[in-house]
Amino acid sequence: MTATALIAGVNKAGTTSLFVSLSEHPDIAPSSVKETRFFLPARYGMPLAPPAEWEAYFSESPTAVRLEATPAYFYGGAKVATAILERIEQPRVILVLREPIARALSFFEYQKMRLRFAADMTLDNYLTETDRLDETDFDDPANEKYMAVRGSRYADWLGAWWDVLGQSNVYLLFFENLIADQATALTNVAQWLELDPSRFPHNALRSENLTTGYKNKRMQQLALAGNDKFEKLLRRVPAVKRSLRSAYFKLNGRQMRAEVTDAMREELASRFEEPNERLRNQLTTANLALPHWLT
């Protein structure tokens, strides 16, 4: 029986790099696009597409593990976890968490890079707009771009994944460990998936989906549209995709970093104090090691 693994969260925590690196293993069949988003409708109380649409994302060749990665699944909590369990026999779910402030800032900059906000929008204005939204507003997928702070409150959703799937079927990885020692992280995930880590090629380690700025907005619009349109093709030729990305960054890219005052960092820290405390208790109760940002 072919097993299925899903990288279900969180965004801006290295999920693309993990997906691409794991996909180098000969016993893993990656989806034709990284984010199938197949189970995402359950998050919003909508029905899933027919099973044939899910099957179409994967090659027919027999393999040990199918793999896809849709980071927004995490925020569907029990709804998405239940939908996965109803469609997939014994699913394995991988979650990657990142220090909340760093993830929030990266997410905010990523939304600007995707042209969902003006390039000169400040974090203070972004938080002001976010604070106008209530719980029901986030039932609208259009407000996903405001998930910088809300999306870093991991304790709000983690417990539901464990409750529905069982803790043994959810692999928890921390972004900081992933980037510090990617080889060990890949080995540990492969062993959890009951795969031989020695079968990774020597160049399996990848760094993908780095948030970068742009010089020309129109050129950025064309690049984003082209990437979205040709993702299936580019996934099949990763070396070509890396070459194109490198050439594009030289042509239209620029370094991008949010200007954050000490006062704003203190504001973010205060917003995460309570959910971080709950996350610390969840991990401690589950006998899991704490990341450095919780110790």
Provide the residue ranges of all domains of the chain, joining segments of one domain with +: 3-211+256-294
Residue 114 confidence (pLDDT): 82
SS3 99: coil
**39 class by beta-carbon count within 10 Å (0-12 exposed, 13-18 middle, 19+ buried):** buried
What is the per-residue pLDDT for 261?
87
pTM: 0.85
Please count the other Cβ atoms lying within 10 Å of the Cβ belonging to residue 207. 13
Task: Note the pLDDT of residue 36.
Answer: 96
List CB contacts of 181: < 8 A, sequence separation 6 or more: none
* pLDDT score of 73: 98
Distance of CA 19 to the CA centre of its chain: 9
Q: Which residues does the chain have with pLDDT short of 50?
A: none
Around Cβ 160, how many Cβ atoms within 10 Å? Answer: 17
Q: Are 258 and 213 contacting, i.e. CB atoms less than 8 angstroms apart?
A: no
pLDDT of residue 250: 62
Give the length of the chain: 295
pLDDT of 283: 98
pLDDT of residue 240: 57
Residue 142: DSSP 8-state: G
Supply 56's token pair. Answer: 């179409």
Say which amino acid occupies 64: A
CATH code at 3-211+256-294: 3.40.50.300
Q: What is the pLDDT of residue 243?
A: 64
Burial 16-29, CB ≥16 within 10 A → b, else e: bbbbbbbbbbeebb
| Under 8 Å between Cβ of 100 and 272 | yes
Strand order in the sheet with 170-174: 28-30, 65-69, 3-9, 92-97, 170-174
pLDDT at 194: 95
